[in-house]
Amino acid sequence: MTSSYSTIVFVATLFVLAASISATEYIVGDQSGWTLDYDYQTWTKDKVFYVGDTLVFNYASGSHNVIKVNGTGFQQCTATSSNGTLTSGRDVIALQTPGRKWYICGVAKHCELRNMKLVITVLPQMSPAPSPSASSTLAVPTIYGMLVALFGGLALLFG
Ligand SMILES: *[C@@H]1O[C@H](CO)[C@@H](O)[C@H](O)[C@H]1NC(C)=O
Ligand SMILES: *[C@@H]1O[C@H](CO)[C@@H](O)[C@H](O)[C@H]1NC(C)=O
Ligand SMILES: [Cu+2]
């Protein structure tokens, strides 16, 4: 009883940890997507973004777009050039560098009046690694091994 319960707990822990150190794909606005009058401030509140994660902006192509701007552009809802405007309706943005990132919708006054603006802070990767692919292939087995060893030790204690 105790033994099988601890097995379940440790396997669950292992999966949670393995998931938390691999890249996360965030659907901006979840099921609502990139849309009018959504509270993106609340959406970001409980999330921690890391280098290697991706943002996905879902919307009906033509109704909105996604423009990466700086802090000034974010506050004033201005984007000087349309260069770099994403319009596919399923725009995937890889977060490649740490720091603050600002995105707005450039259609009509959606940014000014309908809250289509998103600001996030991207943190460096938890384990320093030469490249994102190297970190996800190396870090997962390492943590895996540590947990398997930990579980093995506890199984000996409780088993
Ligand atoms: C923000 O971007 C605009 C162009 O989009 C540029 O003119 C302005 O200097 C930038 N501001 C800062 C603080 O970098
Ligand atoms: C964006 O601007 C750069 C140079 O500033 C240019 O090389 C590139 O072709 C432009 N891209 C688009 C989609 O206009
Ligand atoms: Cu819009």
Domain extent at residue 51: 24-127
Q: How close is the Cα of 88 to the center of ligand 1, in Å?
A: 25
Q: What is the mean pLDDT of residues 75-104?
A: 93
Nearest CA owner, ligand 1 atom 9:
72
As a whole number, the mean pLDDT across the chain is: 82
pLDDT, tens digit, 9 for 90 and up, residues 93-112 = 999 999 999 999 999 999 99
Residue 137 — left, alpha, or beta (φ > 0 → left; ψ -120 to 50 → alpha)? alpha
Specify the range with the lowest mean pLDDT, choosing from 3-12, 34-43, 68-77. Answer: 3-12
Whether residue 136 lies inside any domain: the answer is no
Nearest CA owner, ligand 1 atom 4:
80
User: Regarding predicted confidence, which is higher, 121 or 152?
Assistant: 121
Q: Which ligand is nearest to the CA of 70?
A: 1
Whether residue 43 lies inside any domain: the answer is yes
pLDDT at residue 113, as a whole number: 98
Nearest CA owner, ligand 1 atom 2:
70
Ligand 1 in reach of 72 Cβ (< 6 A): yes
User: Token digits for 159?
Assistant: 């088993």
How many domains, the chain?
Answer: 1
* 92 contacts 65 by C-beta, under 8 angstroms: no
pLDDT band at 9 (very low <50, low <70, confident <90, very high): low
User: Token digits for 63?
Assistant: 């109704």
Greatest mean pLDDT among 8-12, 59-63, 124-128, 146-150: 59-63
Q: Which ligand is nearest to the CA of 79?
A: 1
Ligand 1 in reach of 83 Cβ (< 6 A): no
pLDDT, tens digit, 9 for 90 and up, residues 24-33 = 999 999 999 9
Three-state DSSP class for 61? strand
Nearest CA-CA partner of 123 in 36, 20, 29: 20
